[in-house]
Amino acid sequence: MVISDKAIKYGNNVNTDVIIPARYLNTSNENELAAHCFEDLDKDFIEKSRNSKIIIAGENFGCGSSREHAPISIKASGIKLIIAESFARIFFRNAINIGLPVISNPEAAKNIKDGDNIEVDLDRGFIKDITSGKEYKTNPFPEFIQKLIENGGYVNFVKAEALREN
């Protein structure tokens, strides 16, 4: 899969409270959640996300709560991919589980600038910054996680494999 879009850049330790504040967690509806995504970090996010669908961030993206509402609100906002220097572990799992691609690549995340045009080939494992002309190689996911992605998320994987074992 190739994802080609403009970048929105944020800093380190973007936490789940600013991705989707708890005051909106009285619902699980993805569109209601998306309407408040990043509200306390960047008031202009919804406007930006109309034309920019790749998030670039620093270290420890998604730290804090286990709320799956965080990646759900991002995905429902139309964001196609997040590239960060590193991810908090619960957020990383949640994103993979719901089929939101997340790539940990410190060099790319540091160098890509807000507004850059980015092209990412998930299968061949490279990130191309069309604006700056720089290319970055990504590490493949561990085999098990690849299997989850190939199955279209954890639910399908469980339906296909884990239950067959039982």
155: contact with another protein by CB under 8 A: yes
User: CA angle at residue 123 from 4 to 118, to 5 degrees?
Assistant: 20
Structure tokens at 154: 């954890």
Cα separation values, 39 from 18, 34, 36, 44, 75, Å: 7, 10, 5, 8, 15
Distance CA 85, CA 4 (A): 20
Site for another protein (CB under 8 A): how many residues?
Answer: 44
List of long-range contacts for 161-165, beta carbons under 8 Å, 24+ apart: none
Q: Which is nearer to another protein, 93 or 128 (CB)?
A: 93
Question: According to CB under 8 A, which one of 90, 100, 112, 127 is a site residue for another protein?
Answer: 90
Q: Return the biggest CA–CA distance within the chain.
A: 51
Range in contact with another protein (rule: CB under 8 A) among 60-68, 74-82, 121-129, 132-140: 60-68
Each residue 130-149 as x (binds another protein by CB under 8 A) or -, in order, gives: ------------x-xx----
Taking the complex as a whole, the smallest distance from the CB of residue 156 to another protein amounts, in Å, to 9
CB contact at 8 A, 14 and 62:
yes
41 binds another protein (CB under 8 A): yes
Cβ distance to another protein smaller for residue 24 or 126: 24
- Name the strand (E) or helix (H) holding 157: helix 154-157
Q: How far is the CB of 124 from another protein (least distance, A)?
A: 23
The first and second tokens of residue 99, run together, are: 């089929």
Decide: is 65 part of the binding site for another protein (CB under 8 A): yes
Footprint of another protein (CB under 8 A): 13, 15, 17-18, 21-23, 25-28, 39-41, 59-60, 63-69, 71-72, 86, 88-90, 93-94, 97-98, 142, 144-145, 153-155, 158-159, 162-163, 166
